[in-house]
Amino acid sequence: MDQVQKANSGHPGMPMGMADVATVLWSRFVKYDPVDPAWLDRDRVVLSGGHGSALLYGVMLLTGQGKAGDRHLGPMTVEDLQQFRQWGSRTAGHPEYGEGPGVECTTGPLGQGIAMAVGMALGEAHLRETFGVEVVDHRTYAMCGDGDLMEGVAMEAASLAGHLGLGRLVVLYDDNGITIDGGTQMSFTEDTTEKFRAMGWHVVSVDGHDIPAVTNAIAVARDVLDRPSLIRCRTTIGFGSPNKGGKSAAHGAPLGVDEVRLTKVALGLDPEQAFFVDPVAVALFRDGDGARAEARSAWNARLAGSPQRTAMLAQYSPTLDLSGVVWPAHAVGGKLATRKASQMAIQALAAAVPGLLGGSADLAESNLTTIKGDAEIQRGAYGGRNICFGVREHAMAGVSNGLVLHGGLRPYCATFLIFHDYHRPSFRLSALMGLPVVYVYTHDSVWVGEDGPTHQPIETLAAIRLVPNAWLVRPADANEANEAWAMALERCDGPVALALTRQELLTLDRTVYPPASSIRQGAYVLVEDAAATVTLIASGSEVGLALDARVALAGEGIAARVVNMACTAIFDRQDGDYKKAVLGGLPRVSIEAGVTAGWERYVGDGASVGIDRFGASAPGKVVSEKLGLNVANVVDVVRGVVG
**Least CB distance from residue 409 to ligand TPP, whole Å?**
26
Rounded least distance, CB 481 to ligand TPP, Å: 35
CB of 604 to ligand TPP, least distance (A): 38
Chain length of the chain:
643
Please tell me whether residue 502 binds ligand TPP under the rule CB under 6 A.
no
Say how far apart CA 353 and CA 357 lie, in whole Å: 9
235, 209 in Cβ contact below 8 A? yes
Give yes or no for residue 179 binding ligand TPP (CB under 6 A).
Answer: yes
Supply the DSSP symbol for 436.
-
Print the binding letters for residues 130-159 with ligand TPP: x by CB under 6 A, - otherwise.
---------------xxxx--x--------
Task: Say what the alpha-carbon torsion angle 310, 316, 319, 320 is, to the nearest 10 degrees.
Answer: 60
Minimal distance, residue 249 CB to ligand TPP, in Å: 11
Contact 19, 292 (CB under 8 A): no
Q: Which helix (H) or strand (E) holds 341?
A: helix 338-352
Shortest distance, position 539 Cβ to ligand TPP, whole Å: 32
Give the E-state strand segments of 250-401 in sequence order.
335-337, 356-360, 386-388
Nearer to ligand TPP, 255 or 440 (CB): 255
What contacts 464, CB < 8 A, 6 or more positions away? 420, 427, 470, 472, 497, 499
Question: For residues 47 and 144, what is the distance between their CA atoms, to the nearest angstrom?
Answer: 7
108 binds ligand TPP (CB under 6 A): yes
> Catalytic: which of 393, 480, 483, 592?
393
Single out the residue of 594, 499, 593, 612 nearest to residue 544, CA to CA.
Answer: 593
Which residue's CB atom is positioned nearest to ligand TPP?
145
Gap between the Cα atoms of 549 and 345, Å rounded: 30
If one asks whether residue 175 binds ligand TPP (CB under 6 A), the answer comes out as no
Q: 412 with 485: CB under 8 angstroms?
A: no
Phi-psi region of 604 (alpha: psi -120 to 50; beta: other; left: phi over 0): left
Nearer to ligand TPP, 145 or 598 (CB): 145
Question: Nearer to ligand TPP by C-beta: 110 or 536?
Answer: 110
Q: Report in angstroms how near the CB of residue 496 gets to ligand TPP at its nearest.
A: 25
Applying CB under 6 A, among 101, 109, 411, 494 the residue interacting with ligand TPP is 109
Which of 12, 359 has the CB closer to ligand TPP?
12
When the beta carbons of 426 and 590 are compared against ligand TPP, the nearer one is: 426
Show the binding pattern over residues 228-257: x = contacts ligand TPP (CB under 6 A), - = does not.
---------x-------------x------
Active site annotation includes 459: no
Q: Are strands 588-591 and 607-609 parallel, antiparallel or unpaired?
A: parallel
- For the window 251-290, what string marks contact with ligand TPP as x by the rule CB under 6 A? x---------------------------------------
CA torsion sign, 194 to 200 to 205 to 208? Answer: negative
Q: Which is nearer to ligand TPP, 102 or 109 (CB)?
A: 109
Nearer to ligand TPP among residue 51 and residue 410 (C-beta): 51
DSSP secondary structure letters along 20-48: HHHHHIIIII----TT-TT-TTSPEEEES
Please say which residue, 154 or 164, places its beta carbon nearer to ligand TPP: 154
Identify which range of 177-185, 205-213, 379-387, 593-601 contacts ligand TPP by CB under 6 A. Answer: 177-185
Asked if residue 58 binds ligand TPP (CB under 6 A), the reply is no
426 binds ligand TPP (CB under 6 A): no
- Rounded Cα distance between 487 and 571, Å, is 13
93 and 10 Cβ atoms separated by less than 8 Å: yes
Q: Is the dihedral of CA 118, 199, 218, 111 positive or negative?
A: positive
124 or 148: whose CB is closer to ligand TPP? 148
Angle among Cα 271, 275, 278 to the nearest 5 degrees reads 85
The yes or no reply on residue 55 touching ligand TPP (CB under 6 A) is: no
Q: How far is the CB of 171 from ligand TPP (least distance, A)?
A: 13
Least distance (Å) from ligand TPP to the CB of residue 145? 2
Q: Does 176 bind ligand TPP (CB under 6 A)?
A: yes
Binding to ligand TPP (CB under 6 A) within 10-29 occurs at: 11, 13-14
Taking the least distance from each CB to ligand TPP, the nearer of 214 and 448 is: 214
Task: Tell me, by CB under 6 A, how many residues bind ligand TPP.
Answer: 20
CB-wise, 23 or 501, nearer to ligand TPP? 23
Report the chain's C-alpha Rg in angstroms.
27
User: Which three-class secondary structure state does DSSP give residue 480?
Assistant: helix
180 binds ligand TPP (CB under 6 A): yes
- How many angstroms separate the Cα of 177 from the Cα of each of 185, 248, 507? 8, 9, 60
Please provide residue 272's backbone torsions phi and psi, each rounded to the nearest 5 degrees. Answer: -80, -15
Contact 226, 167 (CB under 8 A): yes
Using the 8-state DSSP alphabet, how is residue 248 labeled? G
* Residues 178, 377: Cα–Cα separation, whole Å: 37
Max Cα distance, the chain (Å): 89
3-state helix/strand/coil string of 501-546: CCCEEECCCCCCCCCHHHHHHCEEEEECCCCCCEEEEECCCHHHHH
Q: Where in 194-303 does DSSP place strands (E)?
A: 202-207, 229-234
| In the complex, minimum distance from the CB of residue 140 to ligand TPP, in angstroms, rounded to a whole number | 19
The residue among 446, 357, 437 whose CA lies nearest residue 398 is 437
Which residue ranges make up the site for ligand TPP (CB under 6 A)? 11, 13-14, 49, 51, 108-110, 145-148, 151, 174, 176, 178-180, 237, 251
- Catalytic positions, written as ranges: 393
